[in-house]
Amino acid sequence: MKTPAAHAGSRDLDSRGRTVLDRKVVEKIAGQVASEESFAGGSSGGFLGIGAHSDFSARPKVTVELAGNIAALSVEIGLLYPVPLRQVTERLRRRISERVTALTGVEVRQIDITVSWLKPADETTGRRRLL
């Protein structure tokens, strides 16, 4: 049984309203976190995916399925090559999950990562490899 003071306190909480987080917010946060990693990039340019090119300064593409306070993310990235792909993607999963949860309060249950392109380190430094 609630006391009058406890009942009044719960009424105050109910009258405050609620916060609704759109999936686009989670997508942008996750994309920004992924782009902060020096080895990951996205795609830029093009129209409807045609003519897009690899770009380490572009934010990786992220889509989110949000069910209440639980999220499943799909991230499409490009990586600098050579890198240990399994280690890099696990590190990225962990980082995205931690930051999204810390910033939004949404629990990230799953992150699927698609590596859509690899760019040799020589192309980004402008140096040619001697054969």
Contact indicator for 40, 77 with CB cutoff of 8 Å:
yes
Q: Is the pLDDT reported for residue 100 higher than 80?
A: yes
Q: How far apart are CA 45 and CA 91, in angstroms?
A: 28
Residue 53 and residue 22 in contact, taking contact as beta carbons nearer than 8 Å = no
From first CA to last CA, the distance across the chain in angstroms is 81
Q: For residue 73, which of 56, 88, 92 has the smallest C-alpha distance?
A: 92
- Per-chain mean pLDDT for the chain: 80
Residue 92, pLDDT score: 94
- 34 or 126, higher pLDDT: 34
Does domain 20-123 sit in CATH 3.30.70.1350? Answer: yes
What gap in Å lies between CA 60 and CA 95, rounded to an integer? Answer: 14
Q: Domain residue spans in the chain? A: 20-123
Quick check: pTM over 0.75? no
| Range list of H helices, the chain | 4-15, 23-35, 85-104, 121-125
